[in-house]
Structure 1
Amino acid sequence: MSIVDITQTYPILQDKHLYAQSGLSLVTIYDDNWFVRNDYDILSRGQRDYLQTFFHQQGFQQKTGKVMVCDEVELHFPDPKRVLALSSYFPEMLIPNKKELIAVTPTTFAEALFHQIVASGTDSLDSIKSLIDKCPYNIELLRDISYRTAIEAITKASFDELMRYQQQVIIKKFKRKKAL
């Protein structure tokens, strides 16, 4: 299977608000410094608007309220869960797909990365820290919603380390950054 690298196809990493990683068909966007505003893990109106503007500049057109399309590539905005503190992750997020991109919150992106870490049998948090460097996420929410899942152990074990790391990153990079 060839590696999908949306960071090479689209200038995502050059944008100060967007983040993606090679091998995943996911894109996420910075929101704000208050990651525990509520327990819904959904893109805010500002985040959706920003993503739509960015991808429109890359040639995408709105197909439906939840899908943008450019040639054969579709960008999906998944339906939000309507229950508090519920995971938005689904296993297909880890399957590289050159024809489908999925816009997710930083917390859902982190959840996918944790599933990728567990599946690979490593315990490196480098990919999570790379996400935090650009798009901090709700570490506490992810720990709570990972209860009785494959990532429960690693989210609990890494909780303190990631909280400290994220706090340092916020102080350095995000102290005065505004929400979209």
Structure 2
Amino acid sequence: MNFRPNAMMAIACLALVALPGPAAADGDPAARSAKPRHPGAQHRAAPMTTAPQKPGSSGVKLQYRVDAVPRVGQATPIVLQFDDVTDPEGATVRLSADRGLAIQGDSTLALPPGKRTTATVTVVSESEGLAYLNVFITQGGASSAVSVPVQTGTGAPALKSSGEMKPQPDGDSLITMPVK
């Protein structure tokens, strides 16, 4: 491909803009006043992870990334990007956190129809281990739930399942585990 230098710089500058603060959505005045990172900075954002969608879910596509290494007592930004809001009334997002993880700022977002919405949610780990930021999305009466993993330090590694995966007639899968 042959790009002109000005086009490459414009693409690079767009990739370097960050949204600071708790739950700063792109329609939020706090996000509009955000200062872009220095255009000459050699920072590359980590790639976004696409959350899987189940049949019958809200239909809203969620991508996310943890923008810092989580440390006990320190703020960790998590970038959430929402697409495919098709309901004319938009969609809503409710956030909750597992024990050991606290959300700073708003825990609800409104997603306008037909637009990509990007929000930065700030969480603080209260202890080492694995905790989840839970994202509940509702659109047109259908709901989705996505758990974003936040691994703080080296404590409490994720447990391996001792269960067996069994497909269900409706297309979902269940993990059955023995009771000890």
TM-score bracket for the superposition, by shorter chain length: under 0.3
Between the two structures, name the one with larger relative contact order (CA 8 Å, sep ≥ 6). 1
From the CA coordinates, give the structure whose radius of gyration is larger: 2
Q: TM-score, normalised by structure 1?
A: 0.24
